[in-house]
């Protein structure tokens, strides 16, 4: 799981998920860490979500929607 700081290659959610599983995290822990790193584990008011179990597929969909909004293809 070694990444160089200047690396320009983007890592997919699934690749990051697999790396965390390989590092010893279980499925729920790996997905929760990815959601936290992506900033989607909090409500808009900043309150932590309660008892949400994320999957890597859900996180990938949310990140894709964020990309569409940022690219101007989808308006909020």
pLDDT at 74 > cutoff 90: no
What is the DSSP-derived secondary structure letter of residue 42?
A: B
pTM: 0.65
Residues ≥6 apart with Cβ < 8 Å to 38: 59, 62, 63
CA atoms within 13 A on the CB side of 19: 11
| Predicted pLDDT at 40 | 79
pLDDT digits (tens, 9 = 90+) for 9-67: 588 899 999 999 999 999 988 988 888 888 777 666 666 665 678 888 998 998 898 89
| Predicted pLDDT at 68 | 92
Query: Of the candidates 19, 7, 12, 3, which has an alpha carbon nearest to the alpha carbon of residue 64?
Result: 12
Distance CA 53, CA 28 (A): 6
């Amino acid at each position: 799981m070694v990444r160089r700081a200047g690396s320009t290659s983007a890592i997919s959610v699934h690749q990051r998920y697999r790396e965390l599983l390989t590092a010893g995290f279980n499925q729920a822990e790996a997905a929760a860490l990815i959601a936290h790193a992506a900033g989607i584990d909090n409500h808009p008011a900043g309150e932590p979500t309660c008892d949400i179990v994320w999957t890597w597929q859900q996180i990938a969909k949310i990140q894709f929607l964020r990309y569409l909004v940022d690219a101007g293809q989808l308006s909020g």
